[in-house]
Amino acid sequence: MQGDWATLWSKFYLLFFPISKVVSLRKEVLNFRQLEKESLNTSWACFNDFITTGPDLTIQDPVLLQYFYMGLSKD
């Protein structure tokens, strides 16, 4: 099998990552909320974990940033 790392990684996840897990990750991203007394850096790290721990969620970067911003507390 030939290709760059991103292509191989994507093909692996498409073959072995259940669609139910993809749906669950999308829900986590779309329903993201900053925890009480959680720092901005920690929130950003958690949010990034959601979007990088599995296959491509096919959510564009501007939309991801919007959901992150909307999930932040007013503090």
pLDDT tens digits, one per residue of 6-32? 788 777 877 787 888 888 888 988 999
- 69 near 47, Cβ under 8 Å? no
**Averaged pLDDT for residues 43-62:** 87
The confidence score (pLDDT) of residue 20 equals: 84
The confidence score (pLDDT) of residue 2 equals: 62
The confidence score (pLDDT) of residue 23 equals: 85
Q: What is the mean pLDDT of the chain?
A: 86
- Encoded tokens for 66: 């919007």
- Whole-number Å distance between alpha carbons of 59 and 38: 25
Distance of CA 45 to the CA centre of its chain: 10
